[in-house]
Amino acid sequence: MTHRYYRSLIAALWGALLTILPYQAIGQTFPQLAGETLAKTEIIWPEASEGQLSLLLISFDRNQQAQMDSWIEAEKDLPKNVSMRAVAIIGEVGGIAKFFIKGGMRDIYDKSWHERIMPYFGEADPVITQLGLSEADTAKLQIYLVTGSGEILWQEAGTYKGQFQDTSFSAALGQ
């Protein structure tokens, strides 16, 4: 066999591996994130889901707003037994900056979402590590289907493109 054959085989295997690797969190426990929602309620994710299945949208950058909006818009297609929530990983900032960030976020999101969105002002690196993400992964919105006890059943990244109809999502729901 030629070197060209082996190179194409290795490239194909590497490509297949890269499609699997970003989803290392499935079966893991979602890290606890404590903070205050935009409605000023103190919570800890994922315990705040009160035993329900939750689709957690995790953003790492303000530039992921369009990706976040695509999932929020698709909420109407989400099964009724799954609630959608969001955490914006902001990182550590001072007191007055928190005030302005939260105010800006309240202006962006409809008031009906304020109870379901939490800016997280803790260290980002431990969260990234616990979720098995690379720096490149944080360039996209991360989406997790999480049980009430925190187990990650399904993971996706980026913009909503009909994933609620995917067999992997249905399988994660046990359907």
Of the chain, the percentage scoring pLDDT greater than 70 comes to: 86
Predicted confidence band of residue 1 (pLDDT cuts 50, 70, 90): low
Q: What is the pLDDT of residue 52?
A: 86
Residue 43 pairs with which residues in a beta bridge? 35
124-165 per-position pLDDT tens digit: 999 999 999 998 999 999 999 999 889 999 999 999 999 988
Give the separation between CA 63 and CA 59, rounded to whole angstroms: 9
Phi-psi region of 124 (alpha: psi -120 to 50; beta: other; left: phi over 0): alpha
Which CATH code for domain 25-173?
A: 3.40.30.10
Residue-wise pLDDT tens digits, 50-75: 778 999 999 999 899 999 999 999 99
Q: How much is the pTM? A: 0.82
Domain ranges of the chain: 25-173
